[in-house]
Amino acid sequence: MNGIRPDELDERLGGGSGEGSEGTSGDEPFVLDVRPADAYESGAIDGSHNLPVYEDLRGGDESALRARLDEVPRDREVITVCKMGIVAKRATNVLEEEGYDARTLAGGMSGWNGYRVGSLGYKIRSLWWRIR
């Protein structure tokens, strides 16, 4: 899986569950949320950046994302995010084709929210991601 689990991303963003978490010391990824603007505005990962190209990517049109690549830094790892991770995977593929170091957030915002609240569904998916 060319992805990153929500707990791994949280740690990379300086979250983590332990006190005195070391933070990122310059290796913090660029979190690229491709969901529509209204979905992004109703709840997003702190510090993420929105390029609302979800509908285009979902329909197979990569040109909207390619046209805005100047908004995505090349000197940082890019983590793509959508609702469930499927469309974000398409964004990751485009970014990789263009030479970016990119990964997809496993489970998308659904996985992220499940992780944040410690849901049973997230715990089961996380176990599955770890053993694959």
For the domain that residue 99 is a member of, what is the CATH number? 3.40.250.10
User: Does the residue 15 lie in any domain?
Assistant: no
User: Domain residues for 52?
Assistant: 27-130
pTM above 0.95, yes or no: no
Q: Please state the domain count of the chain.
A: 1
Express each pLDDT in 55-99 by its tens digit. 999 999 999 999 999 999 999 999 999 999 999 999 999 999 999
| Confidence at residue 94, expressed as pLDDT on a 0 to 100 scale | 98
Dihedral sign computed on CA atoms, order 50, 53, 58, 62: negative
For strand 3-4 and strand 102-105, is the pairing parallel, antiparallel, or unpaired? Answer: parallel
Of the pLDDT bands very low, low, confident and very high (cuts 50, 70, 90), residue 132 is: confident
Q: Cα–Cα distance between 79 and 74 in angstroms, integer?
A: 12
Q: How many CB atoms lie within 10 A of CB 72?
A: 19
